[in-house]
Amino acid sequence: MSDAPQDPSGPAGSGPGPMLGRHVDRSEYGTLDLFEVPAPVRVTFRTDELEALCPAIDGIQPDIYSAEISYTARTHAFESKSLKLWLVTFRDRRIFAEHLVIEIHDVLAAHSPAVGDVSVRLTQNVRGGIETVVEHPVA
């Protein structure tokens, strides 16, 4: 699975095209689609469906998160279906929340200058009576 984004406005033959409106093969999960915006807009995605595997536990112990991802779409925006399918790829990864928040941020922020001012906030479901909230970048 590639973390490289798929920009549908990119060169011909750069991929199967935008995910929106078509069946997406599991092998395409991890690809991010972008589309042009006529003017800069602030975008916020919220989901309760982000999962990863706890790296401190043997076996299958999912960490379940609420995620809020915000950014400024300067010239392009992330297509939400591709973003959701990219986030699904973390389900099989063993990763701490503190690493996950940075990885999500860095992959999205790498699309600068098309997007900017990326911020990510993850709230892990309560475990052991403790709620964990991680944010990147730190103000």
pLDDT digits (tens, 9 = 90+) for 37-86: 999 999 999 999 999 999 998 888 899 999 999 999 999 999 999 999 99
6-15, 24-33, 123-132: which has the highest mean pLDDT? Answer: 123-132
62 within some domain: yes
Bridging pattern class, strands 34-36 and 62-73? unpaired
Q: What is the CATH number of the domain that holds 71?
A: 3.30.1130.10
Query: 116 lies in which domain range?
Result: 35-136
Measured distance CA(117)–CA(70) in Å, rounded? 8
Q: Above 50 in pLDDT, residue 104? A: yes
Structural domains counted in the chain: 1
Q: Evaluate whether 29 touches 86 at the Cβ level (below 8 Å).
A: yes
19 within some domain: no
- The pTM of the full predicted model, rounded to 2 decimals, is 0.84
Query: How many residues are given for the chain?
Result: 139
20 within some domain: no
Catalytic residues: 54, 63
| One-letter amino acid of 33 | D
2 within some domain: no
What integer pLDDT is reported at residue 16 of this predicted model? 63
**Mean pLDDT computed over 15-41:** 83
**Mean pLDDT estimate for the chain:** 87
14 within some domain: no
What integer pLDDT is reported at residue 29 of this predicted model? 82
90 within some domain: yes
